[in-house]
Amino acid sequence: MATNGVSNGTSKVLDASKALDLLKEYESRDGLSVTDLLDSKLRGGLTYNDFLILPGYIGFPASEVTLDSKITRNISLKVPLVSSPMDTVTETDMAIHMALLGGVGIIHHNCSAEEQAEMVRKVKRYENGFILDPVVLSPSHTIKDVREVKEKQGFAGIPITENGTLSSKLVGMVTMRDIQFVRDLDTPLKNVMTPRSELVTAKQGIDLNEANAILQKCKKGKLPIVDSNDNLTALLSRSDLMKNHNFPLASKVTASKQLLCGAAVGTRPDDRNRLKKLVDAGLDVVIVDSSQGNSIFQIEMIKWIKQTFSHIDVIGGNVVTREQAAALIAAGADGLRIGMGSGSACITQEVMAVGRPQAQAIYSVCEFAARFGVPCMADGGVQNVGHIIKGLALGASTVMMGGLLAGTTESPGKYFLSEKGQLVKAYRGMGSIDAMESQKTGENAATGRYFSESDKILVAQGVSGSVADRGSVTKFVPYLQAGMQHSLQDIGVKSVTELKENVMNGTVRFEVRTASAQMEGNVHGLHSFEKRLYSS
Ligand code: IMP
């Protein structure tokens, strides 16, 4: 009997040194090629949990694996992770930290154009270590005001300017030491502050290392930064400096050294004005945000953006078929966003009967878009490191996450205790009734993603709920990144580029996962266990 044209060898034991030579006699490598895995019309659409990647040969440490990948034709990331434009996921803080960690954040548009532009501006103005919007008071504020700041924000080192705002003349500084023994809470700060003449300051434009050296020398807790007219422009804090990490992978625009920032807009006429404001604020990449991207509205919007702002890269979507992709590529999209119905807060497939299992969608769209050099983003349904790697293996260049990042410190909103006493944060689909109603009533507020937001009867495509606390993205994203490096090491490739090449040339192989294989691959048979994913 022969298997793959090779004798099964029951009668003769072969010389072990010939093991590698014998491989050459098999017609194909073990496992399935990506086309055999996903081109099968009969098997039905697969998703992340329906298959595995087979291990390859490890000849290098995981630390040597690089994750550089393109998000659009012209922009690359060192860590191919993107936070979703949802109002419970990406505002200023998330966008700053995603960029510092090597990815990028896409600021949501469920707010006025001015608010969204202000968030973009803050990301673009961010300099690691410098506080660009410090709490500032005026000489006529009182000790009571300082105590209130201390209570709410936890610090009492406050610069005092002429009119109590940033960009006004620095006249002094108040710290806890200045106020702790003063009984009368109505005492104005001008009576207790350390005056300007006794303050150590630094000039605007100073770099972080120099500013750090001044802080260490003068042994103060805070260093005000002033411009040539002595107006306050920023503040450096010793306690922040101690916490400050180095961010060698930060996504920056080479010329300006500013952090990379993305934002989403809709496809309505008003969105053109919105985008102008975002571009004025320094935007680098825009996502045209729609759950079904193949529409006349989106095609015209992409064409208009490319004509009006030739320096801005546009990501179109969402798409799940090559026909949808073709329309947006022809309109001029520099990148595509893939996913319909796979999001964790999504009920699109159930309600609309449209969508596609995510693995199938990624493969179909990426195989097509790659021929035009258009990078694709796998959006939605990512629950772990393995899903990220599978998305990349099927052709995506980056991976977008909503729910996985919504429970972090940097997402908008406050933590609260769930009924079971667990620390959670709110997370809602942008097509949930909650989110759509806020778009209807909010002043100047957002733009439609689901073509239903302004209808009499809202048809929901999402739910609202909560997700568990995940700590800070400064710990979580590096965990995802290290996990990706180890996964690629197991597969036997040293980069995302090599992964994709080896998938396409058939060297990286796959296996379908039956329902029982999925059970086998998860923890089973234990009486109890704790699932800690990383040490922090
Ligand atoms: P997650 O990472 O699985 O939570 O999915 C996030 C993605 O879900 C987003 O980037 C959107 O593409 C998608 N999404 C957001 N809100 C909704 C919704 O209300 N319905 C359907 N999909 C949504």
What is the Cα Rg of the chain in Å? 27
> What atom of ligand 1 comes closest to residue 405's alpha carbon?
2
> What atom of ligand 1 comes closest to residue 403's alpha carbon?
4
- Asked if residue 419 lies in contact with residue 410, where contact means CB atoms within 8 angstroms, the answer is no
Atom 15, ligand 1: which residue's CA is nearest? Answer: 429
What are the structure tokens assigned to 46, written together? 């697969």
429 ligand 1 Cβ < 6 A: yes
The Å distance, Cα 169 to ligand 1 centre, comes to 46
Choose the residue to mutate in 346, 405, 428, 453 for probing ligand 1, maximizing ligand atoms within 8 Å of C-beta: 346
At 219 the pLDDT is: 82
Binding residue ranges for K(+): 341, 343, 346, 516
- Asked if residue 271 lies in contact with residue 117, where contact means CB atoms within 8 angstroms, the answer is no
> What atom of ligand 1 comes closest to residue 85's alpha carbon?
10
315 ligand 1 Cβ < 6 A: no
The Å distance, Cα 520 to ligand 1 centre, comes to 29
Distance between CA atoms of residues 356 and 208, nearest Å: 48
The Å distance, Cα 299 to ligand 1 centre, comes to 21
Binding residue ranges for NAD(+): 289-291, 339-341
355 ligand 1 Cβ < 6 A: no
What are the structure tokens assigned to 438, written together? 């806020």
At 443 the pLDDT is: 42
Would you give per-residue pLDDT tens digits along the chain (536 residues)?
Answer: 444 445 555 668 999 999 999 999 999 999 999 999 987 666 778 999 999 999 999 999 999 999 999 999 999 999 999 999 999 999 999 999 999 999 999 999 999 999 999 999 999 988 767 888 889 999 999 999 999 888 877 777 899 999 999 999 999 999 988 988 888 999 999 999 999 999 999 998 888 778 888 888 888 888 999 999 999 999 988 776 665 567 889 999 877 778 999 999 999 999 999 999 999 999 999 999 999 999 999 999 999 999 999 999 999 999 999 999 999 999 999 999 999 999 999 988 888 889 999 999 999 999 999 999 999 999 999 999 999 999 999 999 999 999 999 999 999 999 999 888 899 999 999 988 888 888 755 444 445 666 666 667 888 888 899 999 999 999 999 999 999 999 999 999 999 999 999 999 999 999 999 999 999 999 999 998 888 888 86
The Å distance, Cα 346 to ligand 1 centre, comes to 6
Question: Which CB contacts under 8 angstroms, 24+ apart, belong to 235-242?
Answer: 235/130, 235/131, 235/134, 235/159, 236/129, 236/130, 236/131, 236/202, 236/208, 236/211, 236/212, 237/131, 237/155, 237/157, 239/155, 240/129, 240/131, 241/129, 241/212, 241/215
Least Cα distance to 401 among 79, 58, 37, 59 occurs for 79
* H helices present in 260-384, as ranges: 269-280, 296-308, 322-331, 348-352, 358-369
Distance between CA atoms of residues 127 and 241, nearest Å: 12
Q: What DSSP letter does each residue of 136-148 carry, written as one string? A: -B-TTSBHHHHHH
At 442 the pLDDT is: 47
Catalytic residue from among 121, 274, 449, 470: 449
Q: Which residue has the tokens 């099927």?
A: 394
> What atom of ligand 1 comes closest to residue 431's alpha carbon?
19
Distance between CA atoms of residues 386 and 11, nearest Å: 41
Instruction: Check residue 62 and report its DSSP letter.
Output: G
Half-sphere exposure of 281 (CA within 13 A, CB side): 29
At 6 the pLDDT is: 55
At 182 the pLDDT is: 87
398 ligand 1 Cβ < 6 A: no
The total of other beta-carbon atoms located within 10 Å of residue 450's CB is: 23
Catalytic residue from among 111, 261, 346, 366: 346
319 ligand 1 Cβ < 6 A: no
Does residue 346 carry a catalytic annotation? yes
379 ligand 1 Cβ < 6 A: yes
The 423-428 sheet, strands edge to edge = 416-417, 423-428, 464-468
At 451 the pLDDT is: 65
Does residue 449 carry a catalytic annotation? yes
358 ligand 1 Cβ < 6 A: no
The Å distance, Cα 380 to ligand 1 centre, comes to 6
- Asked if residue 123 lies in contact with residue 325, where contact means CB atoms within 8 angstroms, the answer is no
Choose the residue to mutate in 87, 352, 401, 430 for probing ligand 1, maximizing ligand atoms within 8 Å of C-beta: 430
The Å distance, Cα 280 to ligand 1 centre, comes to 28
At 243 the pLDDT is: 57
